[in-house]
A and B are shown apart, each in its own frame.
Chain A
Amino acid sequence: MTDARPAPRPDALEAEYWRHVAQGRLCLQACDPCGSLRYPPAPVCAACGSAAARWQPLSGTGRIVAWTVFHRSYFPALPAPYTVVSVATEEGPLLVGNLVDHAGPPAIGACVTARIDPATFDTGATGGICQWRLADPTP
């Protein structure tokens, strides 16, 4: 398992998020009564308290809010240097992912698009992982 990533947190709601991703869909919970989107997955809506929600697909577009470049490798699937970004999705919630196909720090505010890449986890499970790429990769 030379390319195994740390597995997601073992939690039933978290696993639903990853089940959608494994099927090629980036989805977040949308609260039924008030429409608020939430991440990470949670049992109730922090805005209105309702437990009723459905999984809503996102557009997959967003802007980089912050970044860090890891200069040491801690996991087989992530050789250094690798970049982690926080992305403000078009719909509002902030998501974290790797910025792929780009070396070095990106610009804050750069437009990115999501793509679900195949992933192997250190539990032996396989599935997908939502990653981000610059919408305009020209330097």
Chain B
Amino acid sequence: MRDPARLSALSDIAAVAGIGETDYAADAQASRKGQRFDAYGLAATAFRRALADAGLAPGDIDGLIVGPPLALERAGEVLGLDVGFAVQADAVGAVMQAVTAIHAGLAQCIALVYGNSQRSVATAYGGPQAMGGDRFLAYVQYAPWGLTSQGALYAMMASRYMAETGFTADDLGRVVTGIRGFAALNPNAVRRRGLSLEDYRASPFVCEPLRRDDYCLVNDGGVALIVTTADRARHLAGPLVTVAGFGRHDLNRDATSLRPRLIDRYHSAHRQAAQALHEMAGAGPRDVDAVQIYDSFSVHVPVALEGFGFCPPGEAAGLVRDGALGPGGRLPVNSGGGMLGESYMQGWNHQAEAVRQLRGAAGARQIGGLRHVQYLSDVAGKAATLLYRRQR
């Protein structure tokens, strides 16, 4: 069992001192004209920008966390980093590990880097060799029945969710149009043309009930974060944004049979992760001003909001119908456009956007009065969450 007293000692000790991202919109246009990108090159661009953002130099970096699909050694080689602390992790895992490494004294200034050339290399997210099938058996187990995509798995979750809760196709459409509305305010978003509910309804089914507009982008890009001690970050330029808390809980039993996904909608994991974060940060849903939700598919949004306690289970439709989640709402979701509209960086772009919003640097899409932004994810039943806090 986790030890809340020990975990709370990690709250606010680390800060995100630098963020860097590639030019998703411009690069997507170049892609359409035939340009190909290198994933390590994209990560290097993001890393350089994050360092400049933090006012630091490569020599300041003493730790490296690399997000798959990049390989740890190759990323270190390309970036020129020999370090004493180095691990591979996904977006939320990277931030958690950076905080714990800093707390443990393993490193003081850690580069978190990610790059993905999925469009250039035409990564297959469906089919018998679907990406991720080596880690999640459900992605490939059901190939004989023609079920080989993550989209289909989320479509099955959606069909049951909608039948059980009364969440409608138009509710799902409003989730998408809200996030796409934020993307329209983001000059770096790939999908900057807004999406109306009429457009959504006309979008063809891929795996019914999910439509093409319920699926995230596939584009090339890179993201980097520089995480250092709060003490050090306090002396760098810009508002101080700390990691106030985190939580994670994994559902593995019966995973391949889809029971946690379809019957539980991962809620038992959401609750554990949410509680861990709440204990560590001393803050809960009522303290959160905006959320970033891992949105590979639109249905993630209502399910995560319910599971992490932003509304009672089965009642996300109320938030949607109140207009709470889109631009101008009281609980904005994916203010940069998320993966449905900005860039499919597997949660990494959500971290950059959270920090940017808390700094007050989000331009036309800036949300006012922010103190806390929480990131929610539950890919394949591993619920993970982070809370970022602006320090006064």
Contacts of B155 in A (CB 8 A): 68
Pair B144/A8 contact, Cβ less than 8 Å: yes
Which residues in A have their C-beta under 8 angstroms from that of B97? none
Task: Say yes or no for B198: interface residue by CB 8 A criterion.
Answer: no
**A65 CB, nearest partner CB in chain B, Å:** 6
Chain A contact surface mostly? strand
In the complex, which residues 54-90 of chain A have their Cβ closer than 8 Å to any Cβ of chain B? 65-72, 74-75, 77-78, 81-82, 84, 86
A98 to B259, CA, bound (A): 18
Q: Which of B107-137 contact A (CB under 8 A)?
A: 126-128, 137
Q: Does A46 contact B (CB under 8 A)?
A: yes
Cβ contact of B148, chosen from A8, A65, A74, A105, cutoff 8 A:
A74
- Give the total number of A-B pairs whose CB atoms are below 8 A apart: 106
Binary contact readout B122-160 vs A (1 if CB under 8 angstroms, 0 otherwise)? 000011100000000100111111111000100111011
Residues of B within 8 A of A49 (CB): none
Q: Cβ of B168 < 8 Å from any Cβ of A?
A: no
**Bound-complex Cα distance A82 to B327 (A):** 37
Contact call B205/A96, Cβ cutoff below 8 A: no
The reply on B263 being an interface residue by CB < 8 A is: yes
Q: Does chain B have a CB within 8 A of A5?
A: yes
Which residue in chain A gives the minimum CB-CB distance to B205?
A71
Inter-chain CA distance A97–B248, complex, in Å, is 32
Given that A67-B159, A84-B156, A96-B258 are known contacts, is A121 also in contact with B141, CB under 8 Å in the complex? Answer: no
Residues 256-286 of B, flagged 1 when their CB comes within 8 A of A and 0 if not, give 1111001100000000000000000000000
Does residue A6 face the partner (Cβ distance < 8 Å to B)?
Answer: yes
User: Chain B: how many interface residues by the 8 Å CB criterion?
Assistant: 36
Tell me the bound Cα distance from A96 to B137 in angstroms: 13
Q: Complex Cα distance A71/B152, Å? A: 11
| Cα-based distance from A72 to B253 in the complex (angstroms) | 31
Q: Mark A1-43, 1 if CB is under 8 A from B, else 0.
A: 0000111110000000000000000000000000000011000
In the complex, which of the residues B152, B254, B262 contacts A70, with contact meaning CB atoms closer than 8 Å? Answer: B152
Contact A74 B126 (CB under 8 A): yes
Report how far A18 CA is from B185 CA in the complex, Å: 53
Known: A40-B137, A69-B208, A86-B258. A129 touches B160 (CB 8 A): no
Segment 208-262 of B: residues with Cβ below 8 Å from A: 208-210, 253-254, 256-259, 262
Q: Given A6-B128, A40-B256, A74-B127, A68–B156 Cβ distance below 8 Å?
A: yes
Measured between beta carbons, the chain A residues less than 8 angstroms from B209 are 68, 105
Closest Cβ neighbor of A97 among chain B residues: B145
CB neighbours (8 Å) of A105 from chain B are 159, 208-209
A6 and B144 within 8 A (CB):
yes
Q: Given A39-B257, A40-B256, A86-B262, A5 and B144 touching (CB < 8 A)?
A: yes
Contact residues in A for B9 (Cβ distance below 8 Å): none
8 contacts between A and B (CB under 8 A): A65-B263, A66-B258, A68-B156, A69-B208, A74-B127, A74-B148, A119-B144, A129-B145
**Which residues of B are at the interface with A, using a C-beta cutoff of 8 A?**
126-128, 137, 140-148, 152, 155-157, 159-160, 163-164, 204-210, 253-254, 256-259, 262-263
Residues of A within 8 A of B (CB): 5-9, 39-40, 46, 65-72, 74-75, 77-78, 81-82, 84, 86, 93-98, 105, 107-108, 119, 121, 129
Smallest CB-CB A-B distances: 7 pairs: A6-B143, A68-B155, A66-B156, A78-B146, A69-B208, A66-B160, A108-B163
Besides A9-B140, A70-B207, A119-B144, 18 other A-B contacts (C-beta < 8 A) = A5-B144, A6-B143, A8-B144, A9-B137, A40-B141, A40-B257, A46-B254, A66-B156, A66-B258, A68-B207, A69-B207, A70-B152, A74-B127, A81-B208, A86-B156, A96-B141, A108-B159, A129-B144
